Amino acid sequence: MNTLSIGEKAPNFQIKDNQGIVRKLSDYSGKKLVIFFYPKASTPGCTAEACNLRDHYQTFQAKGYEILGVSADSEKRQQNFVNKYDLPFPLLADEEHIVINGFGVWGPKKFMGREYDGIHRTTFVIDANGVIENVISKVKTKDHAAQII
């Protein structure tokens, strides 16, 4: 696993979101962007994280930030997640791991003594020029907005 670091250019991507709309990094040129990677839609930790960002969405908007969520879930699963929790930001359906691998957040994980490959919960804050200005790898799911802002 080779996670991108502060000061590196964010990799460009072109991928569909929960509504089937193609999203590209270049769509956010000139804006600040928070991209949060999470293991699986509608699981407890991911729900807590997404809802915490939702609850502080107005603050992010006021500070000029856009938010994108990314997991390997299908468009349908992402849309169900958006609908169920009224999420105001798009979720990318990265079933092919294009963005996940581009940012280097796929790799070995351990859970209850079992080892497997999966998405490491990581958030990247990208400046208006597409440069990574912060990487949060120890995400506090219930208080994530405070970690970013």
Q: Global pTM?
A: 0.96
Report CA-CA distances (Å) from 34 to 21, 64, 90. 18, 10, 11
Which one is catalytic: 4, 35, 41, 46? 46
| 46 flagged as catalytic | yes
Structural domains in the chain, sorted by start: 14-19+30-148 (3.40.30.10)
Q: Parallel, antiparallel, or unpaired: how do β-strands 65-71 and 91-93 relate?
A: parallel
Digit-by-digit pLDDT tens for the chain (149 residues) are 789 999 999 999 999 999 999 999 999 999 999 999 999 999 999 999 999 999 999 999 999 999 999 999 999 999 999 999 999 999 999 999 999 999 999 999 988 899 999 999 999 999 999 999 999 999 999 999 999 99
The number of residues in the chain equals 149
